[in-house]
Structure 1
Amino acid sequence: MRVLSILAVLAAGPVAAQTCGGSWSDFKDGLLAEAVARGVAQADAARFLAGARQDAEVLRADRAQGVFQRDFIDFSRRLISQNRIDNARAQSSRQDAIFDRIEAELGIPREVMLAFWAFETDFGAVQGNFNTRDALVTLSHDCRRPELFRPQVFAAMELAARGDMDPDRTTGAWAGEIGMVQMLPGDIIENGRDGDGDGRVSLKTSAPDALLSGASVLASLGWAPNQPWLQEVVVPAEMDWSLSGTETQLTTDQWAAMGVTARAGELPDLPASLILPMGRKGPAFLTYPNFDVYFEWNQSFVYVLTAAYFATRIGGGQIYDAGTPDAGLSGDQIRQLQEKLQARGYDVGGADGILGAKTRAAVQAEQQRLGLPADAWPTPALLAQL
């Protein structure tokens, strides 16, 4: 889970400028000073930071995210199996009471939470064994994304001060998330909820606590109760492909007028974007406003689309029509493409070999410029033309 939180507890008092790098000792001293300036008791902050060590494995994990270089069909087939669907449905029955509560109070369908639970920790079985404090301090010291992780260090201090985290023993994912649905400390402070009624929020050991807390995060990010998030559609052989992509929203009546039809059921009366993860010849989906909330949970385009699709499968939806998409690019070729796009002035979020939303938008713009079908799916022919 990758949610940036705005914490009231962090807003009080003067805030030092974001810093990173330098000696480990000096960096920890800077964290201590900023924590005190934010209102954390010096003894609490010092106790939290006393044993913090730099974790090289965390940095290796941060740099090794090649799985997101896979295309949608490959990625989704690797993550979704009939066994995982069966397990999700079994967990739906096992945790029926908390899912009923989530649906009644927050309007979030159980299949949405089941998909996240499955992907994040395989229903709690694989929660990560990285020391949470060390992971957060290491990633704050690293200069790649300190603006994301530094605030979470202070949130973790708050959790430790109130007895909800043991800095020396609490473990989780390499990026500092904790529990069955992998929540960052700031999100735990804002949205941690007691789902089993024992008076505590235990995200590592209590499925009801974890699921209700995760659903609370989605609700706080704007999930519209009892609305769809994703629907598979059939697209015509020809249309204005430049209208596809997350940046364009039209009414479902407008999409229908262009020949877009639901593969099953009816199109709801909602604004929608047409997503073609592997171009006009591959799978096709309409995404609705709730789909945007997925990007607040995770920034990876292929992960978000797969999680949203998996939720529809858990709910009884059919397997998508893979179509016959044109050959795509390897990770190294995507990196070459990104370098060429950056040279043309596009912001693609860095040349990382991952076909994310920014790279797709840049590809679509270049396809339009070159008079190609602007479906945001990069091919070897496009790379050669650039």
Structure 2
Amino acid sequence: MRLSSFLAPLALLASAQLANAANCGGNFDTFINNMKGEAISRGHAPATVDAFFASARQDPAVIKADRAQGVFQKNFVDFSRSVISQNRMQNGAANAQRFGAVFDRIEATYGISRGVLLAFWALETDYGQVQGTFNTRNALVTLAHDCRRPELFQPQVFAAISLFERGDFDPDTTQGAWAGEIGMVQMLPEDILVNGVDGDGDGHVTLKTSAPDALMSGAKVLSSLGWRAGEPWLQEITVPQNLDWTKTGLNHQMSVSQWQAAGVQARGGSLGNGGLPASVLLPMGRHGPAFLAYPNFRVYFEWNQSFVYVTTAAYFATRLSGAPVYDAGTPDAGLGPQQMVALQQKLQARGHDVGGVDGILGEKTREAVQAEQARLGLPADAWPTSALLSAL
């Protein structure tokens, strides 16, 4: 599962604010000529620019992949069980040992647990085995020309030219995901420029073939996004059935000591520092798995914006760090795709921002569900059921 499945921005947060360098759409050759002119005006040598764009072409498969993305219907239990395999656990342990010195450097430099990076590495590219077969230059120019999000992708083309200049990008042979991410942890060119780390000391940042480069770079990205060194990110808990459900969810926080006073306990071991702020996360409602989400959990949403992907990645990181398999509990039956669309339409009609009527139970839809559950006197655990749909 690559980041391109959801096109979650890493350093795109800054790129998205840049003005378009060239008008999107229209004749592709004209567009490329405009991009060349802009690249030269930014200080790139004309010969370098010509070499970079020499065989650039549109890739219809990229547009097809872009239009097909975004419909993510699996719930947390189904998705996590489908992607966290015994093979990935075993390979994670093997890679933790093989690159132990690299992970020691990451923990000393950035305060990020090896489990966190291992989980991303596994979910993004199966530890580097599945990095994508799209020509990266063509993917980027295709999406830069397309008028859906040119402000996101045009800056990535110029970043790729900079990588080409320093010998870290071959426009004809570099391959990756359909949305232009490269390497073992799937980073966009601008991220590589800003956060790329030469982890193996060879003078280049090579994310496709060098695990030390990829892991150190991924750690620097997380650190730049606000990772709090040495702190936990997610922990499985048990919750009392008389908990005030209106206080659960990522939109509510209390200190760990306050949650303890409310009856929340660690399923194994002890909870984090009592003064840390945390949220009780119930991915499938009060009868399903339960977690305490610490501040570092929110950093995951800067890497990827899918609630289920983020929760799975964070949980996977705890597994790779020694945590047991979660207690799945007996969640109430959820809604099917068409029911979810109907629910979102009803919530939207009541004035809630659900983040778009897409059939996906994201964080905004969860918040709206919780508000309506509270209004209707239902347990406000943010897990939509047919009872809620009927009541609306």
TM range (shorter): over 0.9
From 298, 305, 313, the equivalent of 2:311 is 305
Q: Say whether residues 1:260 and 2:264 are aligned partners.
A: yes
Range 164-173 or range 134-143, more displaced: 134-143
Q: Against the structure 1 CA distance between its residues 150 and 369, is the aligned structure 2 distance closer, same or farther, given a 3 Å change threshold?
A: farther
CA drift of 1:36 comes to 4.0
- Asked if the contact 1:18–1:147 (Cα under 8 Å) also holds between the matched residues in 2, the reply is no
**Map of 1:218 onto structure 2:** 222
Structure-2 residue corresponding to 1:367: 373
Displacement of 1:341 in angstroms is 2.8
Query: Matches of 1:73 and 1:149 in 2, distance apart?
Result: 34
Of 142-151 and 212-221, more deviation after overlay is shown by 142-151
Q: 1:366 to 1:76 in 2, by over 3 A?
A: same
CA positional deviation for 1:41 = 3.9
Q: Deviations over 1:283-321 (max 9, x none)?
A: 110111111111111111111110110111111101111
Match of 1:80 in 2: 84
State the Cα distance separating 1:7 from its structure 2 match: 9.6
CA distance in 2, matches of 1:333, 1:363: 13
- Partner residue in 2 for 1:5: 11
Answer yes or no: is the 8 Å Cα contact 1:58–1:175 preserved in 2. Answer: yes
Choose from 235, 242, 266 the match for 1:238. 242
Counterparts of 2:13 and 2:41 in 1: how far apart (Å)? 15
Q: Is the 8 A contact 1:68 1:303 kept in 2?
A: no
Q: Give the drift of 1:349.
A: 2.6
CA displacement, residues 87-122 of structure 1 (integer Å, 9 cap, x when unaligned): 100111111111111111111111111111111111
1:332 matched to 2:338? The reply is yes
The alignment partner of 1:68 has SS state of coil
Per-residue displacement from partner, 1:356-385 (whole Å, max 9, x unpaired)? 112212222222232222211111222233
Closer, same or farther: CA 227–45 of 1 in aligned 2, 3 Å: same
TM-score, scaled relative to structure 1? 0.92
Equivalent residue runs for 1:138-177 within 5 Å? 138-177=142-181
The answer to which of 354-363 and 117-126 deviates more is: 354-363
- Counterparts of 1:324 and 1:366 in 2: how far apart (Å)? 23
Find the residue that maps to 1:274 and give its secondary structure.
strand
After TM superposition, the structure 1 stretch with the greater mean CA deviation from structure 2, 370-379 or 186-195, is 370-379
Over aligned residue pairs, what C-alpha RMSD do you find?
Answer: 2.3
Identity %: 66
| 317-326 or 352-361, which deviates more | 352-361
Cα 1:352–1:54 change in 2 (3 A) is farther
The residue identity in structure 2 corresponding to 1:84 is: R
Find the aligned partners of 1:377 and 1:18 in 2 and give their Cα distance: 44
Contact 2:233 2:294 in 1 (8 A): yes
SS of the equivalent of 2:205 reads coil
1:295 and 2:308 matched: no
CA contact (8 A) 1:16 1:34 kept: no
Of residues 221-230 and 24-33 in structure 1, the stretch that sits farther from structure 2 once superposed is 24-33
* C-alpha contact (below 8 Å) 2:22/2:34 kept by paired residues: no
Aligned partner of 1:208 in structure 2 is 212
Q: Judging changes above 3 Å, is the alpha-carbon distance between structure 1 residues 375 and 23 closer, same or farther for their aligned structure 2 residues?
A: farther
TM-score, length of structure 2 as denominator length: 0.91
Q: Structure 1: which amino acid aligns with 2:218?
A: G
Asked if the contact 1:15/1:38 (under 8 Å) is kept, the reply is no
For structure 1, the 5+ residue unaligned runs are none
The change in CA–CA distance for 1:295 and 1:73 in structure 2 (over 3 A counts) is same
Distance 1:21 1:338, change over 3 A: farther
TM-aligned CA distance change 1:150 to 1:373, over 3 Å: farther
Q: Say if 1:65 and 1:380 are closer, same or farther in 2 by CA, change over 3 A.
A: farther
* Bigger mean CA deviation after superposition, 192-201 or 24-33: 24-33
Question: For the residues of structure 2 that align with 1:313 and 1:145, how far apart are their CA atoms?
Answer: 36
Q: Which runs of 4+ in 1 moved over 6 A?
A: none
SS of residue in 1 equivalent to 2:63 = helix
Contact 1:4–1:148, Cα closer than 8 Å, also in 2? no
Q: Tell me, yes or no, if structure 1 residue 96 matches structure 2 residue 100.
A: yes
